[in-house]
A and B are shown apart, each in its own frame.
Chain A
Amino acid sequence: MLAKRIIPCLDVKDGQTVKGTNFLQLRQAGDPVELGKLYSQQGADELVFLDITASHEGRKTFADMVQKVAAEIDIPFTVGGGISELADVERMLSAGADKISINSAALRRPQLIDEIVSHFGSQVCVVAIDAQQDGEDWTCYLNGGRIPTGRDLFSWAREVNDRGAGEILFTSMNHDGVKQGFACEALNRLAAELTIPVIASGGAGCMEDFRDVFARGNVDAALAASVFHFGQISIPELKAYLKKENINVRL
């Protein structure tokens, strides 16, 4: 049976991971390649590297990092941040990334999804969506949650699905950083309405949150950053716990 996936996410700026980590065993705590390798040895199913650099030099450094990750890490990885045209996708894939994720660029120009899919296939195209709940409504945001678009989460997710994207990575802005659990209701609705895998992001605080997002949110994968980086949750422990809770994970 296809396993549910656990995905650590690493924010990278100028070639270094941004949030600090509690991994004393790493020689260079800020080196994304070393941290990624450690997670893969611990049983992470995939990795996501997000480039949060603005400068041109930073971009170049990120591409170099992608090459190193491809050479040294033996599980699939996705790269995102600053991908706004086909040439960016091409550059990341030829550096060795398995998948790319796009966010604001897709909302601004949805046709980009079609272009990526027709050139490189569905499986490389992850579309990330940041949305915030206000009353009953979920609204999509641009630029890392800074600009509201007025676009409804579920209608945009459906469009992304129908344009051929391979996966949706949904971050609830209400839950992100709060560590009180994932947005299980909205995730469950996405999983029910879409025909492509859904990756949950935002809200992981404890191991039970992961159980709930798989059992109640019915998602295919769960992504988290700080609970892993700060050692609050270790991946081997998390997977053993999920297995015990009858969630099918790779051990």
Chain B
Amino acid sequence: MKVAVVKYNAGNIFSVVHALQRMGVEPLLTDSPRELFSADRVIFPGQGEASNAMHYLRQRGLDQVIVSLRQPVLGICIGQQLLCRHSEEGDVDCLGVFDADVKRFVPLRHEDKIPHMGWNTLTPALSNAEEATSAPFPPLLKGLGKAPFVYFVHSYYVPVCKDTAAVTEYIHPFSSAMHKDNFYATQFHPEKSGAVGQQILHNFLTIDTSIR
């Protein structure tokens, strides 16, 4: 399987490369459209500032490449945010795959520290709270047990919307995982989330592309 990791001006890209290597996968770190289009899986990771990242992607035409991908794509952290319509960070229009706008966290109490940093839990996204406690997670998040903990570092968030796949509570509920067509995304860092994170990366690599 050919796994490509999008190379751009975001930090912490190597941590996802290391995580894949620990799973025995040697990913290709690339910004070549040809390589990205021909990969079986594309990971769009990173940590950074949204408007700088978008500017960089547009200059190189990578914005058009990413939205045209047809294989499973996984956005991580700022990757998830850039797949949305717009971000408050630098007031920038983003890739528009997910039908949502990225907002900055606003603390309500003294305890609400920003960035939201550390381990927090995932709940399947469903409007009915009773259903949510018994509902299964979507394919990307299967096999994790109930209310798994994953690692977050972020100051901006995606509100809960129709593309939300999992919800996490910090100050208020937000989208901690998303899914639309062949696009998957996590606000947390699976590559830094221990065994749970590794399971999520494994799920992504083994998603059944025939039934989506």
Interface residues in chain A, defined as those with a beta carbon under 8 Å from any beta carbon in chain B: 1-3, 5, 40, 45, 70-72, 74-76, 93, 96, 98, 120-123, 166-167, 192, 195-197, 220-221, 250-251
Contact = CB atoms under 8 A, between A and B. Distances in A.
B22 interface: yes
A74 B195 CA distance: 8
A45 B21 contact: no
Nearest to B151: A76
B118 A98 contact: no
Contact of A74 (B14, B117, B193): B193
Interface of A is mostly: loop
Contacts of A197: 113, 117-118
Interface in B159-202: 169-170, 191-195, 197-198
A96 B120 contact: no
A222 to B, nearest CB: 13
Contacts of A220: 113, 118
Contact of A5 (B119, B153, B191): B119
A74 B115 contact: no
B120 A1 contact: yes
A250 B119 contact: yes
A122 B118 contact: no
B34 interface: no
A123 B18 contact: no
A95 to B, nearest CB: 9
Instruction: State the 7 A-B residue pairs at the shortest beta-carbon distance, nearest first.
Output: A250-B149, A3-B119, A250-B119, A123-B153, A71-B18, A2-B120, A76-B192
A93 B11 contact: yes
A195 B14 contact: no
Contacts of B110: 192, 195
20 contacts: A1-B120, A2-B170, A3-B118, A45-B118, A70-B14, A70-B18, A72-B18, A72-B22, A74-B192, A74-B197, A76-B151, A76-B192, A96-B14, A167-B117, A195-B113, A197-B113, A197-B117, A221-B118, A250-B149, A251-B149
A192 B191 CA distance: 33
Interface of B is mostly: mixed
Contacts of B118: 2-3, 5, 45, 197, 220-221
Nearest to B192: A76
Contacts of B198: 74
Contacts of B70: none
Contacts of B194: 40, 74-75
B121 interface: yes
B19 interface: yes
A166 to B, nearest CB: 7
A209 to B, nearest CB: 21
Interface in B104-155: 107, 110, 113-121, 149, 151, 153
Contacts of B151: 75-76
B21 A123 contact: no
B204 to A, nearest CB: 15
Contact of B117 (A40, A96, A123): A123
B165 to A, nearest CB: 20
A121 B47 contact: yes
B15 interface: yes
Contacts of A250: 119, 149
Nearest to B120: A2
A69 B69 CA distance: 33
A34 to B, nearest CB: 15
Contacts of A5: 118-119
B146 to A, nearest CB: 11
